[in-house]
Amino acid sequence: MINKQVSNLTVALAEIENGATVMAGGFGDAGSPNDLIHGLLECQLKGLTLIGNGVVAEDFGQGRLITAGCVVKYIASFPRGPGTTIFDAGTPTAHIELEVVPQGTLAERIRAGGAGIPGFYTGTAFGTPLAAGKETRQIDGKDYVLEQAITADVALIMAKHADRWGNLVYSKSGRNFNPIMAMGAKLTIVQVEEIVELGELDPETIATPGIFVDRVVEVENPTTLYGEP
Amino acid sequence: MINKQVSNLTVALAEIENGATVMAGGFGDAGSPNDLIHGLLECQLKGLTLIGNGVVAEDFGQGRLITAGCVVKYIASFPRGPGTTIFDAGTPTAHIELEVVPQGTLAERIRAGGAGIPGFYTGTAFGTPLAAGKETRQIDGKDYVLEQAITADVALIMAKHADRWGNLVYSKSGRNFNPIMAMGAKLTIVQVEEIVELGELDPETIATPGIFVDRVVEVENPTTLYGEP
Amino acid sequence: MTAGPQKKGMARPQIAWRAAQDIPDGAIVNLGIGMPLGIPNYIPAEREVILHSENGLLGMGPPAKEGEEDWELVNAGTLATTLLPGGSYFHHADSFAMIRGGHIDICALGAFQIAANGDLANWNLGDGVRTPTVGGAMDLAVGAKRVFILTDHNARDGGAKIVEECTLPLTGLTCVDRIYTDLAVIEVTATGLVVLEHIEDMSFEELQDKTGAELQQSADWKPLEAPDLD
Amino acid sequence: MTAGPQKKGMARPQIAWRAAQDIPDGAIVNLGIGMPLGIPNYIPAEREVILHSENGLLGMGPPAKEGEEDWELVNAGTLATTLLPGGSYFHHADSFAMIRGGHIDICALGAFQIAANGDLANWNLGDGVRTPTVGGAMDLAVGAKRVFILTDHNARDGGAKIVEECTLPLTGLTCVDRIYTDLAVIEVTATGLVVLEHIEDMSFEELQDKTGAELQQSADWKPLEAPDLD
C-alpha cells in the first residue's frame, strides 16, 4: 500500500545530507513551508545550496536557514526582501554566493528541471548583466538567452491538504513555486494542514499529483510570519 | 465591461482566414470542440494548417475538416486513428502534408508557444527519423534535440464551464491539449456546455484563466462521436 | 517675506491617475511595486480592468482590510490582498507563461533610468552595497505588450532619469513604451522620445533642460492635467 | 493421424501476467496499447500500483463498463475508462512532464523490433502505405525510468523481432530494459541480452535460434512459468 504520510518533521526531514541542494516553495509567507525549513535547522546541515524566491525576514523561514550558516549558495529572484539587509555588503551573510535569477526564468528553469527539459530559450534578461556569459541566439529576428534547468536533491513544499498518495491541494496564492518545485527534486517533502482520506480531494483541484511527492507530514497549525494561520 | 460570450457558432468563428493555422483540442473525442470544428466547415476555408493530436474518425471532427479539403498540412502525433485509413497511400487525403510529432514534444511545443519560449531541448526522438534534420546538442553527457515552439492563428477549445471573463473549467480527461492550446493562439475560441455567472467557478479549479480566451460560445448539447453527451 | 517657489509638477497619486486614464476597458494589467500600485484607484469606474499579480493571481482585488488579512493571499509585494469574483490562482511557471508569452496587455513599473531608445534600468543601483533584487521586472519588461513607466521626472539630486543611454545595469532593452512623470507624458518611438503632454507652467525648453535625452514635442501635444487627489 | 505439434510458449495474457509480477508495490506505470493493457489484471492484489495515462490521468481505474461510459474520461487508446479514488486530471504538457521528467517508474510497450543494445522500433512499419502514428511512444521510451517490452518473440512470418540492429525506424535509442515474450524474459544489459527465464520445453539453443541477436543465459536463470489464464 502506498502511504506517503510520515509521523513527524524529524522523519520527514531524515536523510538530507550536507552539501545538498534544497528548494523551498513560498512567495512572501504564502505557501512557505516554515515548519520544514525550521526543522531543517535542527539537522545542523552545512554547505547547502538553497533555491527560493527570496528572504522575507532575516530570522524566519529561508532567512533563518541562511543566517544560521547552513547555506553556502542562494539562488533567488528577490534574495533580500523589503526591510532586510541580508547579503548586503558588510553583513555576516555577505560572503554567501548569490545567483540572482529573474523570477520568471527561475520558475521556468525549475519547471524545466521537473519536466525533463535541460534547457530553453527566453527573451528575459537578454542584454542585461543577468545574462552575462550565457549563450544567446537569434530566433525569427528576436534575441534570446539559453537558460538551463534547475533540479534539486530536496524540495520543501507547503500545501493545504494531501492524501496518502501525496496528492496536493493548495490554498490561494500559496501555490506559487510549490507545484513546480515538487516536480524537480529527488526527494519532495510536503507539510500540509490536514491529510484526508484517499478520494476526498477533488481530482480537478489537485495541482500536484502524488507522482511528484515522496513524504507528507501533517502540521495542523503551521508556523507563519504574521501570527495565527 | 468584459464579456467574451458570443451568441452563436457563426459569430464565434468569424474572421478566420484562408491559410490560417488552426489548433484544435481533444484526445479521442474527449475535449474535442466538435461543434466549432464542424462549424468551421461552413466557413468554406481553404489552405488551413491544422494542429491536433489526431483524427478519431474520417468523417467527424478534425477528420471531417481534412476530408472536406480544407486542410493542406496537418501537425499531429497520431494522425491516423485506429480504424481510419486517412492519409494512407492511395487515399484522397494522401497528398496532405503531414508533420508527425511525438505527443509529448507536440504538447511541449504548444505550451512553449504560449509561454514565450521559442525553443527547448528534449531527449525525445533523438536518433530517430522524427529528429531528422533537427539541431542536436549534448548536455551533461546526454543527447537532446532542439524543438521549436508552435503557435497558431486560431485555437478551437472545448471546456465544460466558462464565465464572461473566459475562465474555463474542464471535465476529466477533457483537458488534454485544450489548456495549452488556449495559451498559444492569437484568437482562442471556446465552446462550453454552460456559461455561468462571474464568481461561480472555483478559483482553484480554473485550469484556463480568462487571459487566454477571446470568445466563448455556449453549446448546451455538444456533438459527440459516441452519441449523447 | 515671500514663500519659496512651489515645486512644479504633479503629485505621485496624480501620476498614477494620469496613467490610469490610458488603461482601456478589458485590459489585463500587471503593476510593479511603488507608484504603479496607485493606478487601480483611478481607473474610470465604467472600465473593467483585470489585475495580474506575478505570484499567481489574475483578477486581484483591492488590498485586504486591516484585520481581514489572509496571508495565503498576497500580492507581488507580499502584502495581503483580495481576489475578485472571476479571479483565479495558478503557479509561478504558469504566471510567467502569461507574462513571457505576451498575454499581459500593460505592465506599469518604476524606473531608475530610461534611455531614449526605451532601455530600462530599474533593478540594481549598482552601488556594491545593497544586494540587487530583480523579482519579475526583467520578465515583465520583455513580455508585456506595453510597458508604462511611472517615475519622478528627476532623481532626488535633480539628476536626469530619462537619459540618452542608461549607465545602471539594464532590466531590458528597448522595452519601454510610455513614460509618466510629474512633468510629462512621453512616448518612446522608433525615432525618439515624443512629449505627448507636459504641465502647462513649464515650457518645453524647461522640460528639455530637466531631461537627459533629446525630446520632441508632439504636434498635438496637450497640457498634462490631473484632478486634485488626496 | 496425430495432431500437429502444439505451439510452444505462453499465451498473450500469460505474458502480461509475467510482466505484472515484476511491478512492485507503489509503482507508477504507463501502459501502451495492446498486450500491456492486460497487465493490471494480473498485478498481485496486495500491491497498489498507480496507472498513468498520457492523456492526463493518474490513478486510472479499470475500463468503463458497457453502458457506463463517460467519453470525457478515456484512456490513451481513447477507450472509456474510470478514475480511482486518489486519481487526478491534468493537461497534456503536465502529463508529458511526468514522462519526460523521469517520474514514471515503468512503462510497458509493444514492439516491432528490439535491438541487442536496447534500441526500440515500435511506431512505423516503414511500408510507405500506412501513415505512421507515433503517439507518446518516443517520449515514454526516453522518459520512463524502466521500459518493459511485451511482445511475441517472433513475427507472424517467423522472423526475429529481437535483432542485432533495428532495420525499422527507431522509437528510441538504448531505451529498453526488459523484454517479455511468449518464450523468455530477457534483460537488456550493458554487455548484451541476458535471458533471465525461458520456457522449460525449449532449450536455450532453440531460443537462440529463434532470436536475431546473441543471447546470454543468466547463471541463475529460471523456467518461465505462468498460470493458465482465460
D121-159: pLDDT as tens digits: 999 998 888 999 999 999 999 999 999 999 999 999 999
- Regarding chains D and C, contact by 3 or more CB pairs under 8 A is answered as no
What percent of chain C lies above the pLDDT cut of 90? 93
Q: Which residues contact B207 (CB under 8 A, 6 or more apart)?
A: A204, B168, B169, B170, B175, B179, D91
pLDDT at A181 over 70: yes
pLDDT digits (tens, 9 = 90+) for B115-144: 999 999 999 999 999 999 999 999 999 999
Interchain pair C89, B163: CB under 8 A: no
Residue of D nearest to B224 (CA): D71
Q: Does C85 touch chain B (CB under 8 A)?
A: yes
Phi, psi (rounded to 5 degrees) for B8: -160, 175
Nearest by CB: B139 against A115, A119, A169? A119
**Residue B30 falls within a domain, yes or no?**
yes
Q: Which residues contact A141 (CB under 8 A, 6 or more apart)?
A: none
Parallel, antiparallel or unpaired: strands D192-198 and D215-223:
parallel
**Residue B22 falls within a domain, yes or no?**
yes
CA A121 – CA D143 distance, rounded (Å): 22
Residues of chain A neighbouring C99 (CB-CB closer than 8 A): 104
Task: Tell me what pLDDT residue C6 has.
Answer: 59
Q: Does D59 touch chain A (CB under 8 A)?
A: yes
CA distance A204 to chain B (A): 6
**Residue A134 falls within a domain, yes or no?**
no
Number of domains in chain B: 1
- Listing DSSP states for D119-160 in one string gives -EE-S----SSSPP--TTHHHHHHHSSEEEEE--SB-TTS-B
Q: How far is CA B42 from CA A160, B12, D176, in A?
A: 48, 12, 48
Q: Specify the DSSP class assigned to residue D22.
A: T
Q: Where in the sequence numbering do the catalytic residues of D fall?
A: 54
Residue of A nearest to B170 (CA): A204
Q: Does B112 touch chain C (CB under 8 A)?
A: no
Interchain pair B212, C103: CB under 8 A: yes
Helix, strand, coil percent values for chain D (each to nearest 5): 15, 30, 55
Length of chain D: 230
Residues of chain B neighbouring C98 (CB-CB closer than 8 A): 209, 211-212
Residues of chain A neighbouring D99 (CB-CB closer than 8 A): 116
The answer to whether the CB of D55 falls within 8 A of the CB of D98 is no
**Residue A11 falls within a domain, yes or no?**
yes
Q: Does A151 touch chain C (CB under 8 A)?
A: no
Residues of chain A neighbouring D83 (CB-CB closer than 8 A): 203
Task: Tell me what pLDDT residue C9 has.
Answer: 92
Task: Tell me what pLDDT residue D2 has.
Answer: 46
pLDDT bracket for residue C128 (50, 70, 90)? confident
CA C9 – CA C154 distance, rounded (Å): 11
- Listing DSSP states for C166-204 in one string gives --SPPSBSS---EEE-SSEEEEEETTEEEEEEE-TTS-H
Task: Tell me what pLDDT residue A65 has.
Answer: 96
Residues of chain A neighbouring C128 (CB-CB closer than 8 A): 89
CA B170 – CA A205 distance, rounded (Å): 11
Nearest by CB: A139 against B119, B139, B144? B119
Task: Tell me what pLDDT residue D8 has.
Answer: 82
Task: Tell me what pLDDT residue C1 has.
Answer: 40
Q: Does B87 touch chain D (CB under 8 A)?
A: yes
Number of CB pairs < 8 Å for A and D? 65
CATH number of the domain within which A36 lies: 3.40.1080.10
**Residue A61 falls within a domain, yes or no?**
yes
pLDDT bracket for residue C2 (50, 70, 90)? very low
Q: Which domains does chain C have, with CATH numbers?
A: 2-221 (3.40.1080.10)
Q: Mean pLDDT for chain D?
A: 95
The answer to whether the CB of C172 falls within 8 A of the CB of C142 is yes
Q: Give the pLDDT mean for C80-90.
A: 98
CA distance B126 to chain C (A): 26
Interchain pair D101, A209: CB under 8 A: no
Nearest by CB: C83 against B2, B115, B203? B203
Q: How far is CA B84 from CA B81, D72, D131, in A?
A: 6, 21, 10
Task: Tell me what pLDDT residue D1 has.
Answer: 40
Q: Give the pLDDT mean for D162-169.
A: 98
pLDDT digits (tens, 9 = 90+) for C38-65: 999 999 999 999 999 999 999 999 999 9
Interchain pair C50, B183: CB under 8 A: no
Amino acid occupying residue B45: L
pLDDT bracket for residue D22 (50, 70, 90)? very high
**Residue B121 falls within a domain, yes or no?**
no
Cell triple for C78: 507580499
Q: Give the pLDDT mean for A209-226.
A: 97
Residues of chain A neighbouring B123 (CB-CB closer than 8 A): 116
Residue of C nearest to A110 (CA): C93
CA D145 – CA D126 distance, rounded (Å): 28
Nearest by CB: B129 against D78, D89, D169? D169
Interchain pair B202, A205: CB under 8 A: yes
Q: Which of A110, A87, A56 is nearest to A223 (CA)?
A: A56
Q: In a 3-state reduction of DSSP, which class is residue C54?
A: coil
Question: Touching B: which chains, 3+ CB pairs < 8 A?
Answer: A, C, D
CA distance B80 to chain D (A): 7
Interchain pair D97, A111: CB under 8 A: yes
Which of B60, B128, B193 is best to mutate for the D interface (most D CBs within 10 A)? B128
Residues of chain D neighbouring A198 (CB-CB closer than 8 A): 85-86
pLDDT bracket for residue A228 (50, 70, 90)? low
The pTM (predicted TM-score) of the whole model is 0.97
Nearest by CB: C89 against B117, B184, B204? B204
pLDDT digits (tens, 9 = 90+) for B38-65: 999 999 999 999 999 999 999 999 999 9
Residue of C nearest to A178 (CA): C91
pLDDT digits (tens, 9 = 90+) for C191-224: 999 999 999 999 999 999 999 999 999 999 999 9
pLDDT at C36 over 60: yes
Interchain pair B139, A118: CB under 8 A: yes
Number of CB pairs < 8 Å for A and B? 52
Q: Could you tell me the residue range of the domain that residue A160 belongs to?
A: 5-113+150-218
Interchain pair D91, B98: CB under 8 A: no
Window from B185-199, B212-226, D4-18, D123-137 with minimum mean pLDDT: D4-18
**Residue A32 falls within a domain, yes or no?**
yes
Task: Tell me what pLDDT residue D6 has.
Answer: 59
Task: Please name the residue ranges forming H helices in chain C.
Answer: 12-20, 92-100, 137-143, 204-209
Task: Tell me what pLDDT residue D5 has.
Answer: 52
Q: Which residues contact D166 (CB under 8 A, 6 or more apart)?
A: D113, D114, D115, D119, D120, D121
Residue of B nearest to A202 (CA): B205
Amino acid occupying residue C16: A
Phi, psi (rounded to 5 degrees) for A131: -110, 5
Which of A98, A173, A205 is best to mutate for the C interface (most C CBs within 10 A)? A173
CA distance A143 to chain C (A): 10
Task: Tell me what pLDDT residue C3 has.
Answer: 46
Q: Give the pLDDT mean for C148-173.
A: 97
Parallel, antiparallel or unpaired: strands B48-51 and C50-53:
unpaired
**Residue B145 falls within a domain, yes or no?**
no
pLDDT at D212 over 60: yes
